[in-house]
Amino acid sequence: MDRTDTRENIQTLQALLGLTHPPPSDPDAQDAVLVAVDFENAPQIIQDVSLKNVNSQIGFAILDTKDLSTSSIADISTYSFATGTSNYCQKVSRRFIFGESINEEKKYILEKIQAIIPDSRSVILIGHDIIWDLRALSHLNPRFQKYRYLDTQHIASQVLPLKDQNKNYALHRLLTYFNCPFYKLHCAGNDANFTLRLLLLLATFSVQNETLSTYQKEIVAKLHNISYALLPPPKLCPHDIALARKQRRVERKRQARFQDPDTIERVRAERARKKEEATRKLVLKPDAVPPRS
């Protein structure tokens, strides 16, 4: 699909999701797998495809369009891959909110990507300003050059009635426009998931004035459920835990300022008792003999 043929891309997108009949030139439209892809540090990946000395991220978010018609619950599967230093990979893992990030060498990353992207199906790549992502993906494996693609940034510029003279179609701005939940952008796995959510919202927006069948209205409802699905809670890192403990101590001290002396002594005695019990449990094992009094 060429970016210049935007109207055809919008019609193809609608057909992929079952919102219109597939055009005759695209008979496999309803057998498609949508694969959103996002890279962090794509230019460095292109320069060093071995990934040995590159702090980089690769994110994928996958939706099987068959699930929209055959399953009552359709969902996005999201993956994050990271390469580089240990500190960098740990940072990626903490920021990735849809599971655990995979930190491997290039060989194993390509094997895992091969496993999650079905070569026997019609694969459509999705990206937000996707050109750099396509270049990096093709450098990793020329196989990806054969796939068609859709660019959510370009589709949004044609579908949405934004009047901003700067034509700011940044991912966070478009997600905000649709009130779509998001956080921790610029993590490849997260960005891929949110890009796919945005694509679904653009598709439903493009048919809001169309006369839809009952089946198509059900598809629209499913797409909304996927796009507005609740996000996982943030992961707690050691810094967050330490900060929470400090905040609790500060809050206890603040409350103590408004307590009478008897209450303060009672609270201190209760804390001392709990501390003593905890210490006794650590010192005395189940088979230990208590000391004589």
Q: For 6-235, CATH number?
A: 3.30.420.10
Length of the chain: 293
DSSP-derived secondary structure letter, 187: S
* 19 neighbors 207 (Cβ within 8 angstroms): yes
Residue spans per domain, the chain = 6-235, 239-283
Model pLDDT for residues 236-277, shown as the tens digit of each residue:
766 666 766 777 777 777 766 666 777 778 878 888 888 888
- Closest CA relative to residue 65, chosen from 126, 155, 138: 126
186: helix, strand or coil: coil
**pLDDT at residue 17 tops 70:** yes
Confidence label for 192 from pLDDT (cuts 50, 70 and 90)? very high
**pLDDT at residue 18 tops 50:** yes
What's the pLDDT at 4?
43
- Closest CA relative to residue 130, chosen from 203, 38, 2: 38
Tokens found for residue 161: 């009635």
**Which residues does 257 contact at the CB level (< 8 Å), separation at least 6?**
none
Model pLDDT for residues 107-130, shown as the tens digit of each residue:
888 889 889 988 888 999 999 999
Residues 99-103, mean pLDDT to the nearest whole number:
92
**pLDDT at residue 293 tops 80:** no
β-pair partners for 34: 63, 124
Q: Which residue has the higher pLDDT, 61 or 26?
A: 61
* 27 neighbors 122 (Cβ within 8 angstroms): no
Q: Taking the model in full, what pTM does it have?
A: 0.78
Rounded CA separation 63/33 (Å): 6
What's the pLDDT at 167?
62
Range from 9-13, 39-43, 71-75, 91-95 carrying the lowest mean pLDDT: 71-75
Sign, CA torsion 190/195/198/203: negative
Q: Which residue has the higher pLDDT, 14 or 23?
A: 14
* 58 neighbors 188 (Cβ within 8 angstroms): yes
- What is the 3 state secondary structure string of 218-269? HHHHHHHHHHCCCCCCCCCCHHHHHHHHHHHHHHHHHHHCCCCHHHHHHHHH
